[in-house]
């Protein structure tokens, strides 16, 4: 209750400032409010008095910008988050009219009830030297999730971002289990790091057409990456490549519930359960597992046409390897899995 009150106190002065400000163009659909610029800027530490979202007079907090966008109902444009410390106590719902862009060096410190819910394409542009960070505000208390559940949002880019100490959340009646959760949306996720997340997954994607590449998943409490359900885009799939999955509490990669995925050229080592799990154990399914299979640390040359259960170009060590293949029955629809180009 206390955190929710803080959120309202932040938003209330914004609507007052917009409603009482003078000068500038007006938004014909905004009830006479001051018009927002084509790109709304958020720069931590800026002065709220006189803030209009321009680069010269940016909003100091994401809450302020979201409130202004909600008030200006005719506005559509970009929402750009600049470098610095951004503290969020409660959830933020970014309008579908705002294309969120997060610049290098932006660091988000999120409270235990805080999530960021995007509803349009997101571009997170960290760099190797200056990544974007999502972490807890209160040490020892995980935050919830960064989500995008919008089916029309298929061009998300998240690169050089760190997701740590996250959990899971719900939005619009859907529950997702990762610090980064993507449902029906899609895009490219590159050079990201997922660590010490406490939800069911480090990253959770469902019905997604996405590429996960050059990422590092380690020390997550349960599964590192979980992909469920066939992509909502015709012909779509999940591709996981050139990434590392190390010392996660459960599976390195969990593919289930009708997923079509191409998993190749990854390093998977020291996870608590399977390196790659294909399918969910359920009534009517075959369960083929090889426990504690050891493979040399170096890259292994496999046959040109690998058989079921083999994965081209992987290095796997000290993981359980498991394949669950569904069959058609009264309570079990047929599942189709593709791993390394081989239908299982």
> What's the pLDDT tens digit per position in 144-177?
999 998 999 999 999 999 999 999 887 777 677 8
The answer to whether residue 200 scores a pLDDT higher than 50 is yes
Q: Which of 119-128, 231-240, 330-339 has the lowest mean pLDDT?
A: 330-339
Domain match, 91 and 70 both: no
Please give the average per-residue pLDDT across 114-123, as a whole number: 96
> Which pLDDT does position 181 carry in this prediction?
95
How much is the pLDDT for 306?
Answer: 35
Domain match, 3 and 90 both: no
Of 194-198, 245-249, 330-334, which range is least confident? 330-334
Question: CA 191, 196, 197 angle in degrees (round to 5)?
Answer: 85
- Please compute the mean of the pLDDT values over residues 119-147 and round it to a whole number: 97
Of 1-15, 112-126, 196-210, 312-326, minimum mean pLDDT range: 1-15
98 in the same domain as 177: yes
Mapping DSSP to helix (H, G, I), strand (E, B) and coil, where does residue 7 land? helix
Lowest mean pLDDT among 30-34, 230-234, 296-300: 296-300
pLDDT at 230: 66
295 lies in the same domain as 176? yes
Calculate mean pLDDT across residues 260-276: 91
Average pLDDT, integer, range 334-342 = 33
* Residue 2 scores a pLDDT above 50: no
Q: Which of 277, 203, 288, 275 is nearest to 245 (CA)?
A: 275
Q: Which of 28-42, 162-176, 306-320 has the highest mean pLDDT?
A: 162-176
296 with 174, same domain: the answer is yes
Query: Do 57 and 89 sit in the same domain of this protein?
Result: no
Residue 182 above 80 pLDDT? yes
Residues 71 and 87 in one domain: no
pLDDT of residue 260: 81
pLDDT surpassing 50 at residue 4: no
pTM over 0.85: no
Q: Higher model confidence: residue 214 or residue 19? A: 214
Identify the residue with better confidence: 207 or 164.
164
User: Among residues 78, 112, 138, which one ends one of the domains?
Assistant: 78
- Please report the pLDDT score of residue 229 as a whole number: 76
User: Who's near 245: CB < 8 A, 6+ residues apart?
Assistant: 217, 218, 224, 225, 252, 253, 266, 267, 268, 269, 271, 275
Residue 315 is predicted with a pLDDT of 58
Provide the number of structural domains found in the chain. 2
pLDDT top residue among 30 and 187: 187
CA distance 100 to 249: 32
C-alpha to C-alpha distance for 287 and 291, rounded to whole angstroms: 12
Assess whether 19 and 150 both reside in one domain: no
Query: Residue 20: pLDDT band by 50, 70, 90 thresholds?
Result: very low
Domain that holds residue 27: 1-78
More confident residue, 308 or 198: 198
Average pLDDT, stretch 57-86?
97
Q: What is the pLDDT of residues 322-331, one digit of tens each?
A: 443 333 232 2
Residues 94 and 24 in one domain: no
Query: Do 166 and 97 share a structural domain?
Result: yes
Round the average pLDDT of the chain to a whole number and report it: 77
Domain final residue pick, 57, 78, 99: 78
Contacts of 137 (CB under 8 A, 6+ apart): 87, 88, 89, 109, 110, 111, 112, 114, 143
Lowest mean pLDDT among 2-11, 60-69, 231-240: 2-11
Does one domain contain both 160 and 127?
Answer: yes
Q: Quick one: 194 and 274 in the same domain?
A: yes
The last residue of one of the domains, among 78, 99, 124, is 78
């Amino acid at each position: 209750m206390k955190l929710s009150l803080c959120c309202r106190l932040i938003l209330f002065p914004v609507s007052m400032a917009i409603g009482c400000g003078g000068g500038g163009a007006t938004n014909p659909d905004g009830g006479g409010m001051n018009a927002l610029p084509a790109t709304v800027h958020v720069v931590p530490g800026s002065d709220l008095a006189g803030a209009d979202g321009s680069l010269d007079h940016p909003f100091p907090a994401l809450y302020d910008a979201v409130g202004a966008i909600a008030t200006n109902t005719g506005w559509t444009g970009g929402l750009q988050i600049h470098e610095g410390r951004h503290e969020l106590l409660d959830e933020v719902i970014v309008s579908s009219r705002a294309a969120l862009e997060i610049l290098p060096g932006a660091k988000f410190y999120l409270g235990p009830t805080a999530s960021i819910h995007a509803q349009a394409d997101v571009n997170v542009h960290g760099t190797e030297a200056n990544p974007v960070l999502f972490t807890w505000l209160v040490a020892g208390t995980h935050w919830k999730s960064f989500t995008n559940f919008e089916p029309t949002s298929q061009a998300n880019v998240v690169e050089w971002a760190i997701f740590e100490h996250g959990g899971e959340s719900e939005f619009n009646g859907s529950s997702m289990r990762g610090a980064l959760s993507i449902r029906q949306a899609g895009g490219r996720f590159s050079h990201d790091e997922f660590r010490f997340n406490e939800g069911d997954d480090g990253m959770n994607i469902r019905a997604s057409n996405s590429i996960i590449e050059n990422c590092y998943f380690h020390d997550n409490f349960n599964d590192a990456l979980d992909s469920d359900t066939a992509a909502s885009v015709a012909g779509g799939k999940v591709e996981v490549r050139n990434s590392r999955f190390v010392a996660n509490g459960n599976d390195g990669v969990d593919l289930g519930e009708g997923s079509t995925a191409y998993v190749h050229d990854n390093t998977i080592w020291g996870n608590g359960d399977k390196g790659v799990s294909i399918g969910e154990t359920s009534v009517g399914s075959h369960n083929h597992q090889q426990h504690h299979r050891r493979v040399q640390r170096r890259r292994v040359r496999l046959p040109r046409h690998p058989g079921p259960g083999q994965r081209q170009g992987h290095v796997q060590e000290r993981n359980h390897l498991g394949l669950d293949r569904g069959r058609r029955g009264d309570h079990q629809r047929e599942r189709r899995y593709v791993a390394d180009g081989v239908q299982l």
